[in-house]
């Protein structure tokens, strides 16, 4: 760090990252981060969602984490809550799946059915 402007840029980026995690209204993306989720790769999934939401500068979208969602064999699990709609549960999520989930579901309102718990459980 060589100047106050550089420090201010770092501060602004950090505040933006916090904002992505703390929006109270709108769409919520919740990543299961219990021991089973972390062991299955949930941390890179959480990071991918944070980065994708920030990259797209999506407003009204919260990315957060929770403990155990309860279906350890399907981890990493991500739940999407959109106002006025039923919760959508994505299973066996990888970081590579995140851009499609954000684009198709969060932005355009159409869940990625082939990655949801109902689809995977019925196969």
* CATH label of the domain that carries residue 55: 3.40.30.10
Beta bridge partners, 65, equal: 31
Question: Is the pTM of the predicted complex or chain greater than 0.85?
Answer: no
Place of tokens 């703390």: 22
CA geometry: angle 25, 81, 60, nearest 5 deg: 30
> Could you read off the pLDDT of 30-51 as tens digits, one per residue?
999 999 999 999 999 999 999 9
ω before 76 within 30° of 0 (cis)? yes
What three-state secondary structure class fits 22? helix
Q: Which residues of the chain have pLDDT under 70?
A: 1, 15-25, 120-121, 123
Q: To the nearest whole number, what is the mean pLDDT of the chain?
A: 88
Which domain, by its residues, includes 48? 4-121
Number of structural domains the chain divides into: 1
- Please report the pLDDT score of residue 22 as a whole number: 47
């Amino acid at each position: 760090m060589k100047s106050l402007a550089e420090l201010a840029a770092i501060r602004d980026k950090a505040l933006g990252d916090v904002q992505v995690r703390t929006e109270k209204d709108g769409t919520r993306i919740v990543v299961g981060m219990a021991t089973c989720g972390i062991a299955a790769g949930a941390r890179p999934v959480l990071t991918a969602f944070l980065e994708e939401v920030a990259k797209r500068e999506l407003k009204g979208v919260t990315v957060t984490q929770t403990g155990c969602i309860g279906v350890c064999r399907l981890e990493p699990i991500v739940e999407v809550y959109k106002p006025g709609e039923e919760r959508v549960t994505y299973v066996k999520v990888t970081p590579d799946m995140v851009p499609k989930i954000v684009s198709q579901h969060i932005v355009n309102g159409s869940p990625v059915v082939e990655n949801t718990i109902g689809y995977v459980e019925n196969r």
